[in-house]
Amino acid sequence: MDSLTHIVIGAIIGEAYAGKSIGKKALVLGALFQSIPDIDFISSFFVSPSASLLAHRGFTHSLLFIIIVSLVFSFAAHKWFKKIHLTFMSWAGFIALELVVHITLDSLNIYGVGWLEPFSPQRFSFHSLFVIDPFYSVILFIAFVVLIFYRTTYHYRFVWALGSLTISCLYISLSFFNQVLVNHRLESALITQNISSQRYFATPTEFNIFLWYCVVEVDSGYYVGFSSVFDKEQFIQFYFFLRNENRTVELSDRLELANLIRFSKGYYTIDRIEGELVFNDLRFGREAGWQHDQAAFTFHYYLQQPSKNIGRLQRGRWSQLNRSSLEALVQRIKGN
């Protein structure tokens, strides 16, 4: 999830876990502990753009990292913050809970999380939430503001904390329900349109869990389309994209390409834009693809000039978002 949502949910968990013991300090500590895994942004200053993609949500989002950090930080907190009456095990539970929630939330996005690093490079992704979802975050922000401004003597602080966390969990459950619904519709569409797929996935589009972006892999490329849970028809309009892996033969730097293929989990195409080879990671969708049939892919990586890839994900993610595209998104969510 986005960093701000992590901070807010971390603070709320802190209130629920230790608010009665340490007051509003629990909000600050919860927000800090929740944010620890995102220190991996530092790697972008020392490695290539493609390597930093793999470093992000890698080891710092692993179970081993949680164990190490929980033990080290709980020992330090128990020693330094003697005025805070929490036992060593209470500190460890507090920190571990925040870290587990962080890497679990991140696994709900399409990016993927390296839970088993450094022992396995496998990335876990349930792609049931978009990285920024105001429907998910709004109740958490409201509860956060209440907990910030109301005194510690306010009798309903724990109710606000636990209630907002419960609602957020129910929203995540709804996202999984919608995902199952869309996957079932996708399978039916493939049978109806006589498409033999090797694998497929569906993931939410920007800011919601109601319109889903679908990708289907076949031998030579991919079919992509959109499906809303409110669609009146089961039909999914697909557009086909060739993988074009043969275009990579002219590349001299194969490590960059290998990193990108691993990062994309094999969901990629190679395009030529203005004479330059571009790697598209299909998992992140297309720039306002619900509005434009031939929209470019959000994640596009220049293979022959890696220096042009600073901010490669955000560069495409927001480039086509405007009032018109958001209005079109709302209309598409309502159904075909």
pLDDT band at 131 (very low <50, low <70, confident <90, very high): very high
**Rounded average pLDDT over 242-254:** 83
User: What is the distance between the alpha carbons of residues 54 and 264, in angstroms, rounded to a whole number?
Assistant: 10
Percentage, residues of the chain above pLDDT 90: 74
pLDDT at 250: 73
pLDDT at 311: 60
pLDDT at 45: 79
Q: Which of 107-116, 244-253, 258-267, 321-330 has the lowest mean pLDDT?
A: 244-253
Distances (CA, A) of 77 to 15, 82, 187, 315: 17, 8, 51, 40
User: What is the distance between the alpha carbons of residues 148 and 25, in angstroms, rounded to a whole number?
Assistant: 10
User: What is the distance between the alpha carbons of residues 100 and 44, in angstroms, rounded to a whole number?
Assistant: 24
pLDDT at 315: 62
Q: CA end-to-end span of the chain, whole Å?
A: 29
User: What is the distance between the alpha carbons of residues 292 and 237, in angstroms, rounded to a whole number?
Assistant: 13
Q: Tell which wins on pLDDT, 329 or 273.
A: 329
Q: Tell which wins on pLDDT, 171 or 303.
A: 171
Q: What are phi and psi of 215, to 5 degrees?
A: -130, 130
User: What is the distance between the alpha carbons of residues 31 and 4, in angstroms, rounded to a whole number?
Assistant: 9
Q: Tell which wins on pLDDT, 273 or 242.
A: 242
Q: State pTM to two decimals.
A: 0.94
